[in-house]
């Protein structure tokens, strides 16, 4: 494949990124990352928004991380305004891998996104990019997610809070007095995980019964 960075980007590679076979798409994303051709930026970002295969999406992120951050970060920040949830989620994920803290304000704007996949990506990115001294504020923001969603969503919120260490302790203590039984149970499980990371994530019987009776979004 063409490895020069002049003229048009490699049309065959761009076509392969949208191929029917995920193994072909995976190889194309690998090739794009190996080339590190900035002209592939738009094609890689566009594919992230629609790619159904997890492993291909992960390789697309790697390929984007191989491009110069000065062009990639602004394009990914623009993608955070997309109307497509996967586009926002993948942009957040890639920003967290790049680690450019200038993305912090834009990331925090999506902490409470209505789509779980976007919110989860925002939580993960936020704890990576949080500036020194902002941990307590982030913990308070993340605490608003306590009681949200199913077990996977709640585990992700707990992990994000736990990664903030002592900054999470006051907000968890407050949440454990919440009148909402779901919030209380989630806060208790998170605090247990914070104090003993090897204990695993175990929701109290109170929340388990609530989820079983009414569903995770009740």
Total count of domains within the chain = 1
Distance CA 133, CA 111 (A): 18
In a domain, 49, yes or no: no
What is the average pLDDT score of the chain? 90
pLDDT at res. 218: 44
* pTM reported for the whole predicted model: 0.86
Share of the chain above pLDDT 70, in %: 89
The pair of structure tokens assigned to 5 is 């960075």
In a domain, 104, yes or no: no
Distance CA 40, CA 53 (A): 20
In a domain, 117, yes or no: no
pLDDT at res. 151: 87
pLDDT at res. 1: 39
In a domain, 9, yes or no: no
Confidence of residue 177 (pLDDT cuts 50, 70, 90): very high
In a domain, 176, yes or no: yes
In a domain, 154, yes or no: yes
Q: Is the pLDDT of residue 194 over 60?
A: yes
Q: pLDDT tens digits, residue range 134-149?
A: 999 999 999 999 999 9
Mean per-residue pLDDT, 158-179: 95
In a domain, 123, yes or no: no
Q: pLDDT tens digits, residue range 111-127?
A: 999 999 999 999 999 99
Q: Is the pLDDT of residue 20 over 60?
A: yes
Confidence of residue 201 (pLDDT cuts 50, 70, 90): confident
Mean per-residue pLDDT, 62-87: 97
Q: Is the pLDDT of residue 6 over 90?
A: no
Distance CA 190, CA 159 (A): 8
In a domain, 173, yes or no: yes
Domain hosting residue 209, numbered range: 134-218
CB atoms within 10 A of CB 133: 8
Q: List the one residue out of 115, 121, 59, 116 whose CA is nearest residue 92.
A: 121
Distance CA 160, CA 147 (A): 14
pLDDT at res. 205: 44
């Amino acid at each position: 494949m063409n490895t020069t960075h002049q003229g048009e980007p490699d049309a065959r590679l761009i076509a392969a990124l949208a191929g029917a076979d995920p193994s072909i798409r995976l190889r194309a994303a690998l090739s794009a990352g190996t080339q590190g051709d900035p002209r592939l930026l738009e094609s890689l970002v566009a594919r992230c928004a629609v790619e159904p295969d997890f492993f291909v999406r992960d390789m697309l992120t790697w390929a984007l991380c191989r491009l110069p951050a000065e062009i990639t970060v602004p394009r990914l920040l623009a993608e955070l305004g997309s109307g497509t949830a996967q586009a926002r989620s993948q942009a957040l994920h890639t920003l967290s891998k790049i680690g450019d803290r200038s993305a912090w304000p834009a990331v925090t704007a999506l902490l409470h996104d209505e789509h779980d996949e976007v919110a989860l990506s925002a939580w993960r990115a936020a704890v990576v990019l949080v500036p020194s001294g902002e941990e307590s504020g982030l913990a308070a923001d993340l605490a608003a997610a306590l009681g949200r969603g199913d077990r996977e969503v709640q585990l992700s919120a707990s992990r994000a809070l736990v990664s903030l260490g002592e900054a999470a302790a006051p907000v968890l203590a407050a949440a454990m007095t919440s009148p909402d039984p779901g919030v209380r149970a989630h806060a208790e499980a998170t605090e247990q995980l914070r104090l003993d990371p090897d204990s695993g994530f175990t929701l109290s019987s109170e929340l388990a019964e609530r989820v079983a009776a009414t569903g995770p979004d009740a």
